[in-house]
Chain A
Amino acid sequence: MLSLFPSNDYLLIAVILGMPLLGAFVNGVWGKQLGKDAVRVMALTAVGLSFAASVAAFVALSQLADQQKGEHVKLVWNAWEWMNTNGGAGGVTVPIDVKFSIDALSGVMMLIVTGVGFLIHLYATSYMADDEGFARFFAYLNLFIFSMLVLLLGDNLPILFVGWEGVGLCSYLLIGFWYEHAPNAAAGKKAFIANRVGDFGLICGMFLLVHYTGALDWNGIANGASSLLHTGEQARVHVWPLGGGQYTGVLSFLQPKSPVTISAATAVGLALLLGCTGKSAQIPLYVWLPDAMAGPTPVSALIHAATMVTAGIYLICRLSFVFVLSPFVMVLIACVGAATALFAATIALVQNDIKKVLAYSTVSQLGFMFLGVGVGAFTAGFFHVFTHAFFKACLFLGAGSVIHAMHARIHDGDPSQDLRNMGGLRRWMPLTHWTFAGATAAIIGLPLTSGFFSKDEILYRAFVNRTVNPAAAALQGRVYAPPAWIGTALYATAVAAAVLTAFYMCRLYFLTFWGEFRGWTVGRPSLLSKHEVAAHDDHGHGEHHEDLSTPGHPPHESPWQMTVPLIILATFSVFAGWLNPGFGLSRQPMEHWLEPVFKEATEGAVVYAGGHDAAWAEHMTLPLALGGIGAFLVGTLLAWWMYVSQSGAPAKRAAEAQPALHRLLLDKWRIDELYDATVIAAVDSLAETAAAFDRAIVDGILARLTALVVAASGTVLRAFQSGVVHVYAAMMVVGLAATGWFFAVPHANATVVDSGNNDYLVTAAPGVGYAYRWDADSDGKPEKSDFGADSTLKLHLEPGRSQTVHLEVKNSFGLIRSKSIHVARPEEPTSSL
């Protein structure tokens, strides 16, 4: 396998990338003509072949890794040179190539994207079977797979950015897939714009990196990363005054006593973090992800749960060696993650839309991943990405299966996703139920499932890990040290979030699959006329129940294209945890596999809290695991008591006891309203100002006033257009006479040129038959009494003196005109400044 392609020119990457692109092109251009069967085959083949090639590449990579033990091995394909730029300390040339590479980190992500992507494609062939935009959907989905692979396999930041924007575009297109419905289009725009804010950060990070490290590819940045830490004040990034200037004059009150500076590492980290919060839906840019559920459910599963939203965590892992240089940014990442995990979980507690609950759950789980990478446990954070891809994709696809089943009874979109209309579905859809149960067990942290292992490792690392500046000695103590209690606070927040996770996921599971089915009264066929029943029953499941006393069609299990992906994903959700079980066990394949990627970054940067040693950390393993297990038990039992044994009565009582709080949670803390009132209002007023300027200045003065002047002069000039030929002829005669007069009289003009040595040369303008007479001192007595051909006069003037020259010009008709020319020489300059 390895011998087929050399590792430094690994052409198989072209197949991995090219197949989804081909699928997108074929389905996008000829999809309508090909028909649904051909589109289905094309889309599945494209992603399937890409997955097969990914597996082959992964096997080759693992063989290479075995050969070079402990080395950070890569399979590289340099497609072509893209452009060059300048950067770094010496202004070196920075090549930017279209270059792709597979290493341990991107290899795993590549397998997730193509593998889970293939399953979701298979699922979607059934889920979207009746949709009119079938071909368009698969074109977008294939394009997404391509863009995501570009993001993951890109060997430098600009290529990653191309993929980053590509997945953003596909996300936008797929959220607004049913664009006829206005809220869907608005949700797409919201996602696009929120991501642009993050992209601004990512671009700034790129600029800073190219300026300080002089490289944009992973190896180059790693080599130049040390130049991000400077001791000199001038070499640091000046935050205030921005760019290191000085405020003077009226602005001097803005000038601080000493300029506020941060190290370049912190600046880069903050900029990149902004980009990651946008893509990975963290505070403050998480608002787009819940709305993104307006897209079809397979899209929610693939893009907004399993793959694209983890791009931010991937980027932090990818550039871990940059992030660890700034402990402040690392702590900030961890805090953002923990806060998001808890915050989103509180919202998920009370939501009634099955996809909304899962959306906030995704935001919350992404927060856990941020927490993991923020405390320097890159493997733990990335392992949660890995397990989350399976269980959250399974949950979303299960929710899609439930919605599909509910559509048999309820044909309107929103009520068919409402938990209040579900219940007891395990009776009719056993496969969906059991797979959903498996994935739920994983996310709530049932011991020995994948989510338990990955989440527990994050909780554990949040407590025992601490990030320190690896170059602290060189920086002479100018390093940020996080407070000692931060580990405890992060651990407590994460445990609280885990309790809430267990509670809301069990609530979702119990409300959907347990109890009695509550959907009989919604869209009940007996309440509709027979005609409407025929028109609404576009699914055509079973016979029409014309007996008005029976409750109508029951919900039904989904076809095999939907259940097979569910089974596979649920299997992985339950068992994938054994790839990295933690707890000091000797077999940790994932950690071993990723070790070369993160070894460089974590060495010297990630230590044990409070100066403890590895023995202490090992000693803490079991006590800290109790937090995770306790969270699981508390949340699950509370949900069981509320929604199964008491059938939801305590939940109702709690909501009635605290109506304001319940309302606030239901309204998602009214963060959207807050953003409307602040950010969007500010942008709106800026737009209003610009529009007023446009109306008054551009339209009013530049356009209308100019037009008015032209129109007025046109009105005046039109009066001369009498249409009478004789008037024109008379005017012509007048004009001819004026021209004739101009040529008949002489014109006395002269130019004065400084010819050096205090001499001036006065030259009279030439003309046909002209003769000149000069009077240099204007005393009324010309030098020569006769007119002559001499058209120049030389004049000697000392500094500070001036003289008036009198010139007379005569032409052939004997007419004479004269002119006085004043010539002055300025004083010599006296100042030496």
Chain B
Amino acid sequence: MIPVEHYVLLSSLLFVIGSVGFLVRRNVLVTLMSIEVMLNAANLALVAFNRSRLRHAVEQAAPGPSHTGQVFAFFVIAAEAAEVAVGLAIVLSLYRLRRTVRSDEADLLKN
């Protein structure tokens, strides 16, 4: 069995990649993809912990099979889907309005 540290390491790596992408890229589509990467990093951590350590603690409190992490991950996936739908609609509107998908050119609210 692969130790949980590996999963966590991978998850952290993905999260850092996502957050750096979110902070430095100017293309709104890429920004959205970065958010997806961060969320999936969190999902990975959730299911990995459910398999190992936390499962131990939960079973002490309430014995029996536990799928809290997995269920949580499904909720995150559902939220992700909604977020992408809204996000892409905003990107389309932005493109129609400004003929651009670069976030630093969308500064109508400046000052």
Contacts and interface: CB of A to CB of B under 8 A. Distances in A.
A733 B26 CA distance: 17
10 contacts: A719-B111, A721-B111, A723-B107, A723-B108, A723-B109, A723-B111, A725-B106, A726-B23, A730-B23, A733-B23
B103 A726 contact: yes
A721 B110 CA distance: 6
**Chain A contact residues: helix, strand, loop or mixed:** helix
Between A719, A725, A729, A730, the greatest number of chain B beta carbons within 10 A of the residue's beta carbon is seen for A725
Contact of A724 (B19, B22, B24, B103): B103
Contacts of A723: 106-111
A467 B111 CA distance: 86
A270 to B, nearest CB: 70
A733 B38 CA distance: 14
Nearest to B109: A723
A740 to B, nearest CB: 14
B105 to A, nearest CB: 9
Interface string B14-35: 0000010011101000010000
B68 to A, nearest CB: 21
A733 B108 CA distance: 23
B75 to A, nearest CB: 22
B12 to A, nearest CB: 15
A719 B107 CA distance: 13
Contact of A729 (B22, B106, B107, B109): B22
A67 interface: no
A722 B24 CA distance: 16
Contacts of B19: 733
Interface residues of A, number: 11
Interface string A700-733: 0000000000000000001101111110011001
Contacts of B103: 724-726
Interface in B85-111: 103-104, 106-111
Interface in A646-690: none
A722 B111 CA distance: 6
B23 A729 contact: yes
Nearest to B106: A725
B31 to A, nearest CB: 8
A722 B19 CA distance: 21
A726 B103 CA distance: 8
Given A721-B110, A723-B111, A726-B26, 19 more contacts: A718-B111, A719-B111, A721-B109, A721-B111, A722-B107, A723-B107, A723-B108, A723-B110, A724-B103, A724-B104, A724-B107, A724-B110, A725-B104, A725-B106, A726-B24, A726-B103, A729-B23, A733-B19, A733-B23
A15 to B, nearest CB: 75
B110 to A, nearest CB: 3
Contacts of A730: 23
A718 B110 CA distance: 9
B109 A726 contact: no
Contacts of A718: 111
A87 B23 CA distance: 80
Contacts of A729: 22-23
B71 to A, nearest CB: 25
Nearest to A720: B111
B23 A722 contact: no
A618 to B, nearest CB: 102
A167 to B, nearest CB: 65
A726 B104 contact: yes
Contacts of A721: 109-111
Contacts of B23: 726, 729-730, 733
A725 to B, nearest CB: 5
A733 B31 CA distance: 15
B27 to A, nearest CB: 11
A530 B68 CA distance: 110
B110 A722 contact: yes
A719 B111 CA distance: 6
Contacts of B106: 723, 725
Contacts of A726: 23-24, 26, 103-104
B22 to A, nearest CB: 6
Q: Which 9 A-B pairs have the closest CB atoms?
A: A723-B110, A723-B107, A725-B103, A723-B109, A718-B111, A721-B111, A724-B104, A724-B107, A730-B23
B38 to A, nearest CB: 12
Between B24, B31, B107, the greatest number of chain A beta carbons within 10 A of the residue's beta carbon is seen for B107
A718 B23 CA distance: 22
A730 B110 CA distance: 16
A262 to B, nearest CB: 73
A730 B104 CA distance: 13
Contacts of B111: 718-719, 721-723
A301 B74 CA distance: 97
Interface in A586-608: none
A461 to B, nearest CB: 89
A812 to B, nearest CB: 15
Nearest to B105: A724
A125 B59 CA distance: 104
A449 to B, nearest CB: 92
Nearest to A722: B110
